[in-house]
Amino acid sequence: MNRKPGLVIAVDGPSGVGKSSTATAVAKQLGLAYLDTGAMYRAVAVEAMRLGIIDDPDAAILLSAHADIVVNTAAQSASITINGTDVTNAIRDPEVSAQVSKIATNQPIRDLLTARMRRLIFSEQRIIAEGRDITTVVIPDADVRVLLLADAAVRVQRREAELAGRANHEQVVDQVVRRDREDSKVSEFSKPAPGVVLIDSTQLSLAEVVQRVIALVPQDALPEQITIPEETI
């Protein structure tokens, strides 16, 4: 395959918009590393809940500063551990989703984790990173910058499908709508910054969104052959 040595793709968007499924699919198609930055906030939330400090902002800051967070950036087997414990599955629990904004809206924690994210991104030659402020704060000079949006009702529906009964409708609405409202206090992800391409995925399949993201990549950074998955977000 004829590939450009370096390629960084940044994808932002609200809850349930399809960031993870899109970024994972793009990573697999282009042979990129994959970073779910939200998983880092969730990992800290899991550990803060375990330690009983989720409601103590100062203690949570200390935890974020000193915790051993290890991220596996392989798209086929992405995982995350904190202080030696694999929390890849635990970070998706509805209870964590209900608490994670206490971590994600703490600006000192955001600053600490942003520094970690940048180190991870810069350590990879080719990577796609997704989250809330990747295009504007974490890596604003990424080669490709995308903001994914979708109607709130569609995002709730997608999150319900993802959770497969692990949360009721009211809990899912709270996760999607309340978290967006809380997180928007520290990050702008409802409209694209200058130079960021907006993709509305409301009526698009996963394959169509992936194709649109890949179409933004410089031609010389693409593998010779690409197969787009035929499935929905």
Q: What is the CATH number of the domain that holds 130?
A: 3.40.50.300
Q: Are 150 and 56 in contact (CB under 8 A)?
A: no
d(CA 133, CA 164): 28
pLDDT of residue 1: 35
Q: Does residue 17 sit within a domain? A: yes
Query: What mean pLDDT comes out for the span 15-33?
Result: 93
Q: Does residue 5 sit within a domain? A: no
Q: Does residue 233 sit within a domain? A: no
d(CA 152, CA 25): 23
d(CA 59, CA 171): 27
Task: Please tell me the least confidently modeled range out of 30-44, 46-60, 162-176.
Answer: 162-176
Query: What mean pLDDT comes out for the span 22-26?
Result: 96
Q: Are 91 and 99 in contact (CB under 8 A)?
A: no
pTM, to two decimals? 0.88
Q: Are 128 and 78 in contact (CB under 8 A)?
A: no
pLDDT at 187 over 90: no
SS3 124: coil
Range of the domain at 117: 11-220
d(CA 97, CA 132): 15
Look at the chain and report how many structural domains it folds into: 1
Q: Are 146 and 9 in contact (CB under 8 A)?
A: yes
